[in-house]
Chains A and B, each alone.
Chain A
């Protein structure tokens, strides 16, 4: 209320000047109605008005490392979180060789392998001098989770009968025994 009361006293250019801090609404070319200010702008206004500008204290490098490590762990575990969903999906697609299940299996293999190749770039921005030691553990966990996803893929491929694990897969390399003698019928 006090804002409204004070705004009535101030000239328009002053109002515009004060309100210019907030950005334009993203959508719509229409300007905000006069006197309306978005809540965040209002808050910053108020805080500006209420107290003196207190600059937040920049986090220390230790704190930064802890944060980065936390974030890195989160990223490392993420593939494992997808596992149950993937497993369910694979189970639902069945073991028949169809274009849909083949695509799913292909994606299942492509994801982890790509992730493991890009492991350096994934964790690059979270890596620093301080957390290098811990990051190795994180990366190992990441690789482990991706290997788990790969194992799921192999399980699926095996289910589809694409792995040469049985005798029949090697039958073509087995040859018939040659007879040492031949007999011929003479009429």
Chain B
């Protein structure tokens, strides 16, 4: 007990400096969705974390390669491991848990691993040649495995020509035996019964059809005992036709179908008979999908359910396997229901139960008979969507407890078509996790519609003559009066919340600080999901989108209150209302932003990455390139950043300590191009003027580790990039951050050759900027860089960097990176007045810079910033796997009262003074009169 207290005290001491933001702002202004990605059918299940545990957790290995355990009570993440480093996987993934086992086996890419189910710690890890094709648990009691209580794992791995079956010790991961499959067949899956291990391979015939080949191996020695081939060549033209291969003796089947889904063939593994079932045609509609749901536990009855899905309806058939007679019989049908449905299997002792989830009901059935055990209507899934859209269940896993013949409790975790993962207790939604956001590939900010219309009104007033503007304004105020009753009703509430210090965040309509930006996220699951940056615990709307280009810049906000989503080539962009998610036929013609954008583009120059180089065209004449930039022959372009389109600069110069001015080189047409040379292991950076195509600055770095991320960013008159250099005889391996700042002249008070001309064209006279560069050695590689944005650019900027390795986002103040920091000497008084201090080559990340404080923000790929209405604040949104957002004030919040400001105390002080004044007044009056009349 004492030791625990001590550890607590020590850890709290250690944690204190790690609070990046003010304590009253943490957990308050920032938000975080710790996501896993969409759970997969075969790799999601309820499981007790250890034998004898009363509560079970939901385990999943998602489509993003994240393995995690979720508490089914509240949907909180218990633990999480990212197995795929790049976040997305194309290969299939496997997750298995033995009955009553406290270890999970996972297989992904070339790695098979075992994880402790309770806390997610790695037990062992084995890397195989090629990809892991299947992982199964060997439910076998041959005496060798029972010593540690953990069961062994079977791993099938390999490439198309060479495959390997391995039996790995469940406790240590050591190979007990391995069997090489040199036949040249495609390894497909592995299945284990109590007496035999089957390796299922696919043999490709000359005509391109597939035959299923089954090898049986001895589970103790790994020697081959038998081999036979199933004649499946009539049906199988591709591996997609195979529906399922059972894992163990509870489902010892191989099932496949033909391309048109007209017949279902089932084989009991170990026999050569093939049972054939015709699939009934449901009217004109073709069956789109067939799924088999079978129990996972080897002790369960050998019953399985086949789920048929057409575009508008679904039904299922339940089959029983007679293992003694090696026969498969159809037991009963489940009625056809419209819409999509999801089925889940659960076991209780040997009994098998099926749960059917439709868009309106949860139905529990026993596998033995067609009687319905329980039926619970679903009041609502409790997730956001757009009006008119039907939310459908996609996948489900369930857990039920049986008392006698009745279902006493049923919990079903359902993945919905909106990308939300919800838990239904009976028929009520308990929690939901927006797992669809894990697949965000593009995001953008916009303002809500009320703000947008208000801005438009103001701009209209500004553009017409004063008298009319005055009439308009009066009209607007009269219109505003209509809202007065509503405002009066909410007044007491506002006063109370004002006293409690929660008034900074109102609702989306009355957003005086501009914190309520709408963030839309386009996800790989084909959804567009909108969040409110000021109230992020609620999803505003969630809608389906068609085919889109999966590019980072697909989603934009071309006008206030409008999102545009770039379509696939040939299809124009789609437009959406930011507040409601409704589809707009086009950009609103009244919007001023559109006119501005149109006029801008028409006389501009476009540059684009083409043919391994950078090409620039005149917008009106795209025939020939204005200029092109081709990197050296063996270089490839790995990054291109330009100055943000909206990048306001408050001051065009830097005021020195002696009040002279260094003029910044402010050219909006700058782009920083990063190229890599794989052979020479070098990275080159070119700062280009995108009008003339000339190089304004370039630098080259040798001995670079090109596997580590190389990121870059630009803002104002400076750029920053980061890379990792390999170990060399001269220097150890290290991560670097380089910052360069450009000036028109390094002589104070000098504006360079262009002097004070009001406009310039780099085509006429293109003076080179004077660039100061400092490089810093940093403790970690930075996978993404971006810069905070504020409304007018008065607030100092901060560099936001994503630390992929430590799952964090930091904001580095520009002052710490300033390339004017004096080298090898202390700063003079004048320099100190500017905030410069002596340059140190090692830049340690101050714990106060961590924006995520105690949170673990995993898998972030991109960070967006946008200005709030108040100058001090920039709104930050990060996405990738997790979704994280916060508000940032690089120069502290100088224009807004902090949460620590005690309004109650202030008002109480004023009131007390007023009371004192009134109370003391008669006393003072009497004293003054007495002074006149009395002599002492």
Q: Are A and B a genuine interacting pair, yes or no?
A: yes
- The answer to whether residues A179 and B760 also contact, given A167-B661, A169-B659, A184-B604 and a CB cut-off of 8 A, is yes
Tell me the B731-776 residues at the A interface (CB within 8 Å): 748-749, 754, 756-763
Q: CB of B351 within 8 A of chain A?
A: no
A3 to chain B, nearest CB (A): 42
- Give residues of chain B (667-724) contacting chain A, Cβ–Cβ below 8 Å: 667-669, 671, 690-691
The answer to whether B608 and A186 touch across the interface, beta carbons within 8 angstroms, is yes
CB-defined contacts of B756 to chain A, threshold 8 Å: 174
Contact in complex: A182, B605 (CB < 8 Å): yes
Known A175-B758, A181-B691, A181-B761; judge A168-B661 contact (CB<8 A): yes
Give Cα A183 to B607, complex, Å.
7
- A179, B759: Cβ atoms closer than 8 Å: yes
Chain B residue at minimal CB-CB distance from A169: B659
The closest CB in chain A to the CB of B671 belongs to A185
Q: Which residues of B contact A184 (CB under 8 A)?
A: 600-601, 604-607, 645
Tell me, rounded to whole Å, the shortest Cβ–Cβ distance linking B600 to chain A.
6
A161 within 8 A of B: yes
CB < 8 Å A-B pair total: 93
B640 within 8 A of A: yes
Using a Cβ–Cβ cut-off of 8 Å, how many residues does chain A contribute to the interface with B?
Answer: 21
A183 with B754: CB separation less than 8 A: no
For residue A103, CB closer than 8 A to chain B, the reply is: no
| Chain A residue at minimal CB-CB distance from B749 | A167
Q: Are B607 and A168 in contact (CB under 8 A)?
A: no
Residues of A within 8 A of B659 (CB): 161, 166-169
Which residues 4-62 of A sit at the B interface, judged by CB distance below 8 A?
none
Partner of B605, one of A174, A175, A176, A181: A181
Indicate if A81 sits at the interface (CB-CB under 8 A): no
In the complex, per-residue mask of A150-176: 1 if CB is within 8 Å of any chain B CB, else 0? 000000000001000011110110111
The answer to whether A177 touches B604 (Cβ under 8 A) is: no
**Chain B residues positioned under 8 Å from A183 (CB to CB):** 604-607, 616, 669, 690-691
> B668 touches which one: A167, A175, A182 (CB < 8 A)?
A182
Known: A181-B604, A184-B606. A171 touches B669 (CB 8 A): no
A180 and B759 contacting across the interface, CB-CB below 8 Å = yes
* CA A180 to CA B757, docked complex, whole Å: 12
Which B residues are CB-close (under 8 A) to A187?
551, 553, 608-609
Specify which chain B residues have a CB less than 8 angstroms from the CB of A129 in the assembled complex: none
Q: Is A178 an interface residue (CB 8 A)?
A: yes
With CB as the reference atom, state the residue of chain B lying closest to A161.
B659
CB distance from B710 to the nearest CB of A (A): 19
Using an 8 Å CB-CB cutoff, how does the interface string of B303-319 with A read, 1 for contact, 0 for none?
00000000000000000
Answer yes or no: B666 CB below 8 A from chain A CBs. yes
**Which of chain A's residues has its CB closest to B751's CB?**
A174
Instruction: Give the residue name and chain of the A residue nearest to B744 (CB).
Output: A177
Give residues 871-888 of B contacting A (CB, 8 Å): none
In the complex, the chain A residue whose C-beta lies closest to that of B754 is A177
Within the complex, the shortest CB–CB distance from A170 to chain B, in Å, comes to: 9
Residues of B within 8 A of A186 (CB): 606-608
Asked if B649 is at the interface of the complex by the 8 Å CB criterion, the answer is yes
Alpha-carbon separation in the docked complex, A166 to B659 (Å):
6
Q: A175-B758, A187-B551 are in contact. Are A182 and B666 (CB under 8 A)?
A: no
A49 to B835: give the CA distance in the assembly, Å.
86
Are A179 and B758 also in contact (CB < 8 A) when A167-B660, A168-B660 are?
A: no
Q: B652 interface residue, CB < 8 Å from A? A: yes
B651 at the interface (CB under 8 A from A): yes
- The answer for the CA separation of A182 and B757 in the assembled complex, in Å, is 18
Is there a chain A Cβ closer than 8 Å to B642's Cβ? yes
List, in ascending order, chain B residues with CB within 8 A of A168's CB.
653, 655-656, 659-661
* Least CB separation from A177: chain B residue: B760
- Within 8 Å CB of A178, what residues of B? 758-760
Pairwise interchain contact A177-B601, C-beta atoms closer than 8 A: no
A-contacting residues, B372-402, CB 8 Å: none
Given contacts A166-B659, A168-B659, A171-B651, contact A177 B758 (CB under 8 A): yes
Within the complex, the shortest CB–CB distance from B203 to chain A, in Å, comes to 45
Task: Enumerate B646-665 residues with CB–CB distance to A below 8 Å.
Answer: 649, 651-653, 655-656, 658-661
Which residues of chain A are within 8 angstroms of B606 by Cβ–Cβ distance?
A: 183-186
Given contacts A168-B655, A177-B754, A187-B608, contact A182 B661 (CB under 8 A): no
A176-B649 in contact (CB<8A): yes
CB contacts (< 8 Å) of A179 on chain B: these are 667-669, 691, 759-762
Given known A167-B661, A167-B749, A174-B652, contact A185–B607 (CB-CB < 8 A): yes
* Interchain CB contact (< 8 A) of A181 among B653, B757, B763: B763
CB proximity of B115 to chain A, nearest CB, Å: 40
Give the complex CA separation of A171 and B749 in angstroms: 10
Across-interface contacts of B669 in A (CB, < 8 A) = 179, 181-183
Task: Provide the bound-state CA to CA distance between A185 and B605, in Å.
Answer: 9
Chain B residues with CB under 8 A of A174: 652-653, 756
Q: Which residues of chain B have C-beta atoms less than 8 A from A176's C-beta?
A: 649, 652, 666
Q: How far is the CA of A175 from the CA of B604 in the complex (A)?
A: 22
Q: Which residue of A lies closest to B756 (CB)?
A: A174
Known: A171-B651, A183-B606, A185-B642. A177 touches B660 (CB 8 A): no
Beyond A179-B668, A180-B759, is A171–B652 a contact (Cβ under 8 Å)?
yes
CA distance A184 to B652 in the complex (A): 22
Question: Which residue on chain A has the smallest CB distance to residue B651?
Answer: A171
B328 → chain A, closest Cβ, in Å? 54
Alpha-carbon distance A181/B604, docked complex (angstroms) = 6
Inter-chain contacts of B761 with A (CB < 8 A): 179-181
Residue of A nearest to B606 (CB): A186
Please name all residues of chain A whose beta carbon is closer than 8 Å to the beta carbon of B666 when the two chains form the complex. Answer: 176-177
Determine the chain B residues whose CB is within 8 A of the CB of A161 once the complex forms.
659
Kindly identify, within residues 754 to 801 of chain B, every residue whose CB is under 8 Å from any CB belonging to chain A: 754, 756-763
Residue ID in chain A nearest B553 by CB atoms: A187
Are B607 and A177 closer than 8 Å at their CB atoms?
Answer: no
Partner of A171, one of B642, B649, B655: B655
Bound CA–CA A171/B663 (angstroms): 10
Measured CB to CB, the closest approach of chain B to A30, in angstroms, equals 21
> Judging by beta carbons under 8 Å apart, are A180 and B760 in contact?
yes
Cα A185 to Cα B551 in complex, Å, equals 14
Are B653 and A171 within 8 A (Cβ)? yes
Assembly CA distance A99 to B809 (angstroms): 43
In the bound complex, residues from chain B placing their C-beta under 8 Å from that of A172 are: 651
Among B600, B649, B655, B671, max chain A CB count under 10 A is at B655
CB distance from B691 to the nearest CB of A (A): 5
Choice from B616, B652, B660 contacting A175 with Cβ under 8 Å: B652
CB distance from B119 to the nearest CB of A (A): 43
Residues in chain A near residue B661, CB distance under 8 A: 167-168, 171
A182 to B599, CA, bound (A): 11
Give the shortest distance, in Å, between A187 (CB) and chain B (any CB).
Answer: 5
CA separation between A178 and B551, bound complex, in Å?
32
Question: Nearest Cβ in chain A — how far from B605, in angstroms?
Answer: 4
Q: Residue of A at shortest CB range from B667?
A: A179
Map CB proximity to B onto A61-96 as digits: 1 under 8 Å, 0 otherwise.
Answer: 000000000000000000000000000000000000
Q: How far is the CA of A170 from the CA of B651 in the complex (A)?
A: 11
A178 to B649, CA, bound (A): 13
**Nearest CB on A from B660, distance (A):** 6
Q: How far is the CB of A63 from chain B (nearest CB, A)?
A: 50
Contact string, B241-283, partner A, CB cutoff 8 A, digits 1/0? 0000000000000000000000000000000000000000000
Among A168, A174, A175, A179, find the residue whose CB has the most chain B CB atoms closer than 10 A.
Answer: A168
A177 to B758 Cα, complex, angstroms: 5
7 extra interface residue pairs, beta carbon distance < 8 Å, beyond A180-B759, A186-B607: A167-B660, A168-B655, A168-B656, A176-B649, A179-B759, A182-B605, A184-B605
CB<8 Å pairs between A and B, sample of 18: A166-B659, A168-B661, A169-B659, A174-B653, A179-B759, A179-B760, A181-B669, A181-B761, A182-B603, A183-B605, A183-B616, A183-B690, A183-B691, A184-B601, A184-B605, A184-B606, A184-B607, A185-B690
Minimum-distance CB pairs A-B, first 3? A183-B690, A166-B659, A180-B761
A-to-B contact residues, CB < 8 Å: 161, 166-169, 171-172, 174-187
